[in-house]
Amino acid sequence: MKKNLTIIVLILLMGGLQLNAQKPLVNVPFMINVEGGTFQMGSNSGNADEKPVHPVTLNSFYLGKYEVTFSEFKNFVDATGYKTDAESPDTLRLKHGLPPRGINNGTWNTYSNGKPVPFSDSLNPVGNISWNDATAYCKWLSKETGKKFRLPTEAEWEYAGKGGNKSKGFKYAGGNNLDEVAWYLGNSGNRAHTVGKKMPNELDLYDMAGNIREWCSDWYGESYYKTSPAENPAGPVRGSHRVLRGGSWGSEEGRMRISYRNNEFPYNSAPGFGFRVSIAGEPAVKKAVPQSNTNLMDGLDTKGFIDVYGIHFDIGKAAVKPESLPIIQQISNYLKEHPKMNVIIEGHTDNTGSDAPNLSLSDKRALSIKAEIVKQGIDPGRMETKGYGSSKPVADNKTAAGRTQNRRVTIKKL
């Protein structure tokens, strides 16, 4: 059941677009429209390179809703035969004037112990990625789609991390409670996790804090903020290091604030180095979400219930968002194939931080799913709904603080 669930969530999160019938499927990341605006970049209470705080105005751009996953990067490697910097032997690195890698930290598809990354980690952010690797992926994706994919600038990354023009002034990307918005040293178990499991920020961007540290396009300049242009800054014109932002699963709490800056040689990689993609000044790629041949409902036959993660809702309209409709279709098809079965749909959330709103929110989630299933021709009398808020956790669905994860729905036989 977990394998089946992983497959369907992979399809939902990453979308997909058959760009050429003669080529393999290209998974195009979901993109969020970040409307331009002016914000205060940096922090006067942070490190020296975060000072001074200064106004920056940005044009609109698009940013990946999630970090690039292992599965997405694998498609690139499979299509091109690309070898990452971490896979280059020291003899080749020395030939190009690069220092030896030193200790083995693994590669994008192997751990430091030499074991391959398993299929179950396909939805994790890809790690052990250098700046060179990330830009090579962007160039490939641009060629395949006709869109100009690139890494975000450091200013774009911080603006988006702070919530853009919807910012609520949180300390971390998405909130002030780090456990709710990020995988970091204090709760990660020293490993990366499936993208999109923590709460998003104001722009519906996930894992801007933690999980994997993200490359930006800029050269790093320690005192760059003192001379940075006021509009669309793109970093120094030259340098030796490139910028990394966002912290990772191995980062301490003090390095998780939005304004924290990190940097590394562009040819270096580490298990906690990854990226997300950006598009500037043009419409985002539209994606068709394909149906899966794998039925996540099989768990109803074996266990009598299933837990479904990652369904996206427009709570204001009490409706399921379009990218999650393939899951609804599977539920509907299953109920059509089992006309005598009745189910209860349970909603769970701790999104608001207080019991009454949580209860209302989780109830709306359950009702939204029922409404979509009814649209597929299923008798509403066959379905009950109940919102549990955060009061009914299960063992595999708790944060380090003991709270249930957001956006979980349980479907049980009656």
Instruction: List pLDDT tens digits, range 54-68.
Output: 999 999 999 999 999
Is residue 142 over pLDDT 80?
A: yes
Of residues 316 and 54, more confidently modeled: 54
Residue type, 196: G
Please give the mean pLDDT across all residues of the chain: 82
DSSP string, 163-214: TGGG----SBTTBS-HHHH---TTTS-SS---TT-SPP-TTS---SSSSSEE
List, in order of start, the domains of the chain with CATH numbers: 17-280 (3.90.1580.10), 298-413 (3.30.1330.60)
Of the candidates 367, 357, 365, 355, the one whose C-alpha atom is nearest the C-alpha of residue 392 is 355
Is residue 146 over pLDDT 80?
A: yes
Residue type, 244: L
What tens digit of pLDDT does each residue of 237-251 get? 999 999 999 999 999
Q: What is the pLDDT of residue 404?
A: 40
- This model's pTM is above 0.75: no
CA dist 95 to 91, 92, 99, Å? 6, 5, 10
